[in-house]
A and B are shown apart, each in its own frame.
Chain A
Amino acid sequence: MTHILEVDRVGKRFGGLQALTNITFNLEEGEILGLIGPNGAGKTTLFNTINGVYSPEEGTILFRGKNVVGHKPYEMAKMGMSRTHQIVRPLKDLTVRENIMAGACFGHENHNLLAAGRIADEMMGFAGIKAKPDQLAGSLNVAQKKRLEMARALAAHPKLLLLDEVLAGLTPSEIDGMIKTILDIRKQGVTIIMIEHVMKAIMNVSDHLLVLDYGQKIAEGQPEEVVHNERVVEAYLGDPNMARRLMEEA
C-alpha cells in the first residue's frame, strides 16, 4: 500500500496559541479516515494546514510523495486535493451548474468549459442535487448546499477529498443519503478524510479514526479500539457510559 498523505510532526501556532502540536499520521490510498475530537480541538485547523490555507511552522507534509509545506491552496487543488467547508461556501450568484463547473475547471484536471459542463451534469445526479441546473446556488436549502459543496469538490476528480462536517445540520434521512454518497465516492478510489460529530456515521464509514484534543493527537486506530481508549473517553467523551452507548449505536 502506498501513502497518499504523510503528516510528520506538524505544528501550527497563532501568536501565543499552539493550535496543533506534533501531529503525525499516514493515510493509505483508498481509505476513509475519520477525524474526531471536541470543539476547538484543531480539526479544521489541521485541514487548513493540509490544504495550504495555513503554513505550519514545524514538520513536513508529503502529498503524493511531494513535500507540500508552504504550498498555496490552489497548488494543492492542482495536485489533486479537494475539500468542503464546515460552513458551506456556495458561489451564490452563480448557477448550480456553474458552481460545479468551476470545481471541474480549476481542479487538477483543468477541464475546459465543455468538459466541465458534462462533468457538472454527471455530478448533479451523483451527488443527488435536486435542483434545476440554472437555479442560483444562493437559493438552495442547507442540505442541497452541502451536496452542492460536495459535488463541486468531486468535480475536480480529486485524489484526496477533505470533508468538513458534511453531515452537520442534516436530518437523519438526509444523513443516510449522504453516507451512501460518501461510500460511493470511496468506491471510485478517492481517499477521504472526514471531520464529523455524528458518531454513528463516522463509526460506520471510517476505516481509521484519529482523535485530536487541544491540538494533539491522543489516539489513532480502528474505530472500536479508539472509542474504548481511556484517553479518548476521558478527553473527548467525558463520560464512560457515552462510549458504551456509542458502541451500541454503531
Chain B
Amino acid sequence: MNKIASFHPGLWLALAVVAAIGIWPIPAQDAALREVSFTVLIAIVMATSLNVLMGYTGYVSFGHVVFYGLGGYVGMYLLNDYHAPLPLAILAGGAAAGLLAFLLGKAILKLRGAYFALVTIGVNEAMRTFISNFEPFGASTGIALQFSVYGAYGGAKQALWVVYYTIVGLALFGVLASYLIRHSKFGLGLMTIREDEDAAEVMGIVTPNTKTLAFVASAILPGMVGVLFFFKNGNVEPGDAFRLGVSIETLVMIMLGGQGTVMGPILGALGYQRLRGFLLTSPIFKNAQLVVAGILLLLIVLFIPAGAVGWLRQRFAWLRKVLA
C-alpha cells in the first residue's frame, strides 16, 4: 500500500498461479485437462468475488450463487430467444447480476451478522422458486439452447475452447480486480467496516453506499461466469442455477484458503476442486465424497479458522508481502 509504483509480488504471484492453471491444457489442446481447469477457474472467480463481500467487508452471504444463476438465465435467454452474440450475453448477465445486487443491497445489507446470512438464503430460495414459475425463462424446465447456436463459434467443439479462453480471461481479471480493491481507498473502507462498522460510520465512511458497492462488485463476475457455464452446458434449470450448495462450497473454499486475502480464495478454490475431483473419481470415496468434504470443513472451522493463507501469514510475517 505504501508506494503505488512499487513492485507487487502478491499480485504477480496470484496472477501467475491463475495463469498457470489457465494455460495448462492449452498447448496440448487436451479436452479432459481443459474441463479440470475450467471447473477450477470458475471456482476461483466465485471465491474471489465472494471474498470481496465476505473477506474484505465481513458480510457472509449464503446467496452468492443467485448472481451466477440470474446471470446465466439472462444470458441464455438472450442467446436463445434473440440469438444475441455471446460477448453481449456475457455482459448482459454481469449487468443483470450487478443490478440485482444494487437493488437488494441497500435493503438487505442493513441486517448484520447471522440475520444477513439468513436473508441471503431467503433471497436464493425466493429467486429459485420464482424462476421456476417464470414463463419467459421456461419455468421449471428452464432454457435449452438449440444446437445451431454453437454454429456461430465454429461448432460445439470450437465453442468449448472459446468459452474456456473467456473464463481464463475473466479469472485473471477477477484476481486483478480483487487485488486492486484490496489496495485501494475503497478497500480500506471495506476493511474498516469489517473490523467495526459503527466506528467506520463515525470515521466518515458512508457505510450503506460502500457496502452496496462491494455487493455489486462481488456480483458482476459471477453473473458473467454463469452465462459461460450454462452456454457450455447447453441448458439451464432452476435447480442447477440456484443451488444453495454452490454458495456454501464457495464459502468453504474461502475458509480453506483464507478470507480477506487475495491468494486465499485462489488456493482454496484450487484445493477444494482438486480434492473433490479426486474423491469423485476415487473408487473408495466416490460415495463418500460429501462426507469427506464435510469432515474437512469441520476440521478447518474447528482448528484453522483463518484458513491456510491466513495461518501462514500469522505464522510467518515475512510472507505477508508475497501472500497478499
| In the A-B complex, the 8 residue pairs with the closest CB atoms | A77-B204, A91-B195, A106-B204, A89-B199, A73-B201, A73-B202, A106-B205, A102-B192
Q: Which of chain B's residues 1-24 have a Cβ closer than 8 Å to chain A?
A: 1-2, 4
Nearest chain A residue, comparing its CB with the CB of B4: A114
Residues of A with C-beta under 8 A to B196? 89, 91
Cβ of A64 < 8 Å from any Cβ of B? no
- Please tell me the number of chain B residues within 8 Å of chain A, measured between CB atoms: 23
Cβ of A113 < 8 Å from any Cβ of B? yes
Cβ of A12 < 8 Å from any Cβ of B? no
Q: How far is the CA of A93 from the CA of B207 in the complex (A)?
A: 19
Q: Please pick, from B184, B195, B203, the residue contacting A106 in the complex, using a CB distance under 8 A.
A: B203
8 pairs of residues in contact across A and B, judged by CB atoms under 8 Å: A53-B202, A74-B202, A74-B204, A94-B188, A106-B189, A106-B192, A107-B203, A117-B1
Cβ of B191 < 8 Å from any Cβ of A? yes
Is A78 a contact partner of B204 (Cβ separation < 8 A)? yes
Is A113 a contact partner of B202 (Cβ separation < 8 A)? no
- Given A74-B207, A105-B185, A113-B1, A91:B191 Cβ within 8 A: yes
Residues of B with C-beta under 8 A to A82? 203
Q: Mark B183-221, 1 if CB is under 8 A from A, else 0.
A: 011001101101110111111111100000000000000
Is B203 a contact partner of A98 (Cβ separation < 8 A)? no
Closest Cβ–Cβ distance, residue B104 to chain A (whole Å): 21
- Please tell me the number of chain A residues within 8 Å of chain B, measured between CB atoms: 30
Is B1 a contact partner of A98 (Cβ separation < 8 A)? yes
Q: How far is the CA of A72 from the CA of B188 in the complex (A)?
A: 20
Is A156 a contact partner of B203 (Cβ separation < 8 A)? yes
Chain B residues with CB under 8 Å of chain A are 1-2, 4, 184-185, 188-189, 191-192, 194-196, 198-207, 260
Cβ of A51 < 8 Å from any Cβ of B? yes
Is B204 a contact partner of A107 (Cβ separation < 8 A)? yes
Q: How far is the CA of A119 from the CA of B77 in the complex (A)?
A: 52
Residues of B with C-beta under 8 A to A101? 1, 188
Is B195 a contact partner of A93 (Cβ separation < 8 A)? yes
Is A113 a contact partner of B204 (Cβ separation < 8 A)? no
Cβ of A152 < 8 Å from any Cβ of B? yes
- Given A105-B185, A114-B4, A117-B1, A94:B191 Cβ within 8 A: yes
Is A91 a contact partner of B199 (Cβ separation < 8 A)? yes
Residues of B with C-beta under 8 A to A107? 203-204
Q: Which of chain A's residues 63-81 have a Cβ closer than 8 Å to chain B?
A: 72-74, 77-78
Q: How far is the CA of A94 from the CA of B202 in the complex (A)?
A: 17
Is A113 a contact partner of B188 (Cβ separation < 8 A)? yes
Other A-B contacts than A83-B202, A94-B195, 4 sampled, CB-CB below 8 A, are A74-B206, A91-B199, A105-B185, A117-B1
Q: How far is the CA of A114 from the CA of B2 in the complex (A)?
A: 8
Cβ of A186 < 8 Å from any Cβ of B? no
Residues of A with C-beta under 8 A to B202? 51, 53, 73-74, 77, 83, 85
Q: Which of chain A's residues 134-188 have a Cβ closer than 8 Å to chain B?
A: 152, 156
